[in-house]
């Protein structure tokens, strides 16, 4: 695994690559810091930087980079469901629990969202409380709001 630091409108992001897929996106002061790897460069990291730049510019609505999030079977199921939420849309934790066939697992879905190792690209920021509130986010609620506003066209960088 190698990593790179990428400057973004929401602060420095640490990207990690296995050489074949993106494994991590970590916020500078994230709630759950991820492991650190030797700095380097490869095509995966280059592509992640390009796609993130296009996303923050408002011109990329769907990431195409290969991702390989590491987690339990349940977490991977939750993270796969996140990738089906369209750009600019939101879902509640209960809706996500139903989407994975576990309607009583709302809290477990929330916990899995919180452990998403590839935020932004696997869009856990698109999941909000049933009442529309912005619940926790690994990068902080202000960053979650920024990302949602960006997707709705309300942020000028």
Which active-site residues does the annotation give?
Answer: 124
Q: Work out the angle between the directed axes of helices 73-82 and 106-114 (0-180°, nearest 10).
A: 80
The string of DSSP codes covering 28-87 is TT-SSPPP---B---HHHHHHHHHHHHHHTT---S--S-B-----HHHHHHHHHHTTSPT
């Amino acid at each position: 695994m190698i990593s790179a630091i990428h400057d973004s409108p929401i602060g420095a992001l640490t990207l990690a690559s296995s050489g074949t897929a993106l494994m991590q996106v970590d916020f500078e002061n994230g709630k759950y810091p991820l492991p650190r790897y030797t700095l380097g460069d490869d095509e995966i990291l280059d592509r992640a930087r390009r796609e993130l730049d296009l996303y923050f510019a408002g011109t990329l609505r769907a990431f195409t980079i290969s991702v390989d999030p590491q987690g339990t079977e349940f977490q991977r199921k939750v993270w796969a469901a996140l990738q089906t939420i369209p750009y600019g849309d939101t879902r509640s934790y209960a809706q996500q629990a139903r989407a994975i066939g576990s309607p009583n697992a709302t809290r477990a879905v929330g916990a899995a969202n919180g452990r998403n190792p590839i935020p932004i690209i696997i869009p856990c920021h698109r999941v909000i409380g049933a009442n529309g509130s912005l619940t926790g986010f690994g990068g902080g609620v202000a960053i979650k709001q920024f990302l949602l506003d960006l997707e709705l066209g309300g942020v000028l960088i």
